[in-house]
């Protein structure tokens, strides 16, 4: 739980993504890479303005919250502000807006609020006194096992289809998301999965003919 500044509305969204990437060329493991990305998006509202920041240092989140609060004006009645009340309940409706490229975030919120007029049903109150933690733990495989299974699959494809060569990519990914706010919301979601796409090309053909194989890992 974070130290949310008093007399403000604030929330924190955290995303952690791990990916193990295998590139396959001509039926062989050509390249193996691993990457990890972690970040937090932090916002604070004082009744007049929104203040935003982001960080890749999760240990600094409380410091970032305090820093945002130093630029804002305390509002002891913030929980009764119309904007905050709409977070808690929109009469079962939702307003959505989006953009491509740079934009004014306040303008997006304004458009989303206007779009509530379309009366899109959304009978959920997601932001107040709600705790939910979901972990999908079906894909239980280590990196070593993952690489070994890919090698075995390539060998089996080569045995079954000796006139074809296999290429493209396979990913092992783990994604963790969480969000907390000062109204008592505490949500998290974690999932680990394999994303695969293999192309098979007949060796003797001048023109490429490919087929995409998905869901080929039974693990």
Domain boundaries, the chain: 9-89+125-213
Name the pLDDT band for 209 (thresholds 50, 70, 90).
very low
> According to the model, what pLDDT value does residue 189 have?
93
> According to the model, what pLDDT value does residue 156 have?
87
**pLDDT tens profile 73-127:** 999 999 888 778 766 544 567 777 887 777 776 677 778 778 777 777 766 554 6
CA distances for 203 relative to 154, 164, 168, angstroms: 16, 5, 16
Report the distance separating Cα 42 and Cα 61, nearest Å.
Answer: 8
> According to the model, what pLDDT value does residue 215 have?
41
> According to the model, what pLDDT value does residue 119 have?
78
Task: Assess if CATH 3.30.2290.10 describes domain 9-89+125-213.
Answer: yes
- Which range is least confidently modeled, 59-73, 80-94, 132-146? 80-94
- Within a 10 A sphere around the Cβ of 172, how many other Cβ atoms? 26
Cβ pair 115, 95 in contact under 8 A = yes
> According to the model, what pLDDT value does residue 105 have?
64
> According to the model, what pLDDT value does residue 52 have?
92
Query: Which run of H or of E encompasses 215?
Result: none
Q: At 2, give phi and psi (nearest 5°).
A: -95, 165
């Amino acid at each position: 739980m974070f130290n949310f500044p008093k007399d403000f509305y604030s929330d924190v969204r955290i995303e952690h993504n791990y990916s193990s990437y295998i590139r396959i060329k001509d039926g062989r493991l050509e390249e193996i890479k691993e990457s990890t990305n972690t970040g937090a998006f932090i916002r604070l509202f004082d009744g007049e303005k929104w203040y935003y920041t982001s960080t890749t240092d999760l240990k600094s989140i409380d410091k970032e919250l305090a820093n945002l609060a130093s630029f804002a004006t305390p509002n002891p009645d913030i929980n009764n502000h119309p904007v905050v009340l709409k977070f808690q309940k929109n009469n079962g409706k939702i307003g959505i807006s989006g953009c491509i490229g740079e934009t004014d975030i306040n303008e997006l919120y304004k458009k989303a609020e206007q779009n509530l007029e379309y009366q899109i049903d959304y009978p959920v109150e997601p932001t107040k006194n709600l705790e939910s933690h979901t972990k999908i733990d079906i894909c239980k495989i280590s990196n070593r096992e993952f690489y070994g299974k890919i090698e075995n699959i390539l060998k089996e494809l080569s045995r079954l289809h000796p006139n074809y060569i296999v290429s493209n990519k396979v990913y092992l990914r783990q994604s963790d998301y969480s969000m907390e706010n000062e109204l008592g919301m505490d949500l998290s979601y974690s999932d680990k999965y394999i994303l695969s796409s293999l192309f098979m090309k007949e060796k003797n053909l001048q023109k490429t003919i490919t087929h995409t194989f998905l869901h080929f890992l039974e693990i």
